[in-house]
A = this chain, B = another copy of it.
C-alpha cells in the first residue's frame, strides 16, 4: 500500500504575522507610560514616495497609540528644525524622510547625525551605526540597562529570522546564528551592509553580494570573537547560493531576480525589496518564503520610540551627548 506523500511545499510567512507579537509587546510597554509618545517626521523633499511613507508612518502611529506630527520644512532649514526638536521635551522620536540633498553632496549623511541619539528612531546617527558595526549593544556599559538603537530595516530582518527560528534560542544571546550560512543580496550603507554585519556579529557566515562583487562577513576567530570581520572574496553568487541556508534579497528596481536554479533545496528566502526579487517558482524549492517585511519594519520603528522614551527618562547629558 502506498503511504501518503510527504508533506512538501513551501510555507509562506507574511510580515503581518511576524509584526503581531512585536505590536503586542509595544502595547504592553505603552500602557506603562504616563503619556503618549510623540514621533515627529521631517519632510524636506518633493518625493511622492517619501510623502506616502510619511502618511503611512502617521497612520500606523495613530492606530497603535502613538502621536505623530509631520513637519514640512525647506531643505535649507532642516538642520535647524532637527536641532530644535532634539531639545524639545515634547518630542520623543524623530524620523527624517530621505533623500533631501543630492547623493554626491553627502549632506544627508551629515543630517543623519544631527538627530540626537536620544531621539533617533531610525538608528542612523553615527553613535548607533558605530555601535552596530563595533557590536556594542548597550549605551550604558557596564550597567547594560539601555540597549543601543538598531536601524529599523536590518533589525526587522533579524526579527523575521528569530520568528522563523533561524536564530537558535538554545545558544547563548549574541551567538544564536553560529553555524548558519546566509547570503544577503544588497550592500547599501543603510540596509545591506549593516545587516551583514549584524548577522555576522551573531555568529553567521555571511556572503554579502552587490554588483561590485562579494564580501564575506564572519565573527572573526572562534565563538568568543567580539565583532565581525569582512573581506573581499572571489566567489560568485551562483557559488554561494548552493551553500546558503538563508537567502535575503533587497535589490531595488524590477531588473533583478534571484537565480533559483542555484538555490539549495529547503532554503529560507526573504525579500526586503519593494519589488519581488524572487519569482513565484521560489516556492518549489524554498522551505520558507517571506515575500515582504515592511510591516515588521514599522513595528520596530514604534518599538524604537518606546526604547528612546526609556532612554530619555533614564539618561543625563553625561551619558548621551546631544
Contacts and interface: CB of A to CB of B under 8 A. Distances in A.
Nearest to A187: B105
Contacts of A318: 318
Number of chain A interface residues as a range: 20 to 34
A189 B105 contact: yes
A76 B230 contact: yes
A231 interface: yes
Contacts of A130: 113-114
Contact of A189 (B107, B114, B229): B107
Contact of A106 (B83, B102, B189, B232): B189
A83 B102 CA distance: 30
A164 B79 CA distance: 33
Interface string A81-104: 001000000000000000000111
Contacts of A261: none
A265 B126 CA distance: 47
Nearest to A103: B104
Interface in A45-76: 76
Nearest to A75: B232
Contact of A109 (B109, B133, B232, B321): B109
Nearest to A101: B189
Interface of A: 76, 79, 83, 102-107, 109-110, 113-114, 126, 129-130, 133-134, 189, 212, 229-232, 318, 321
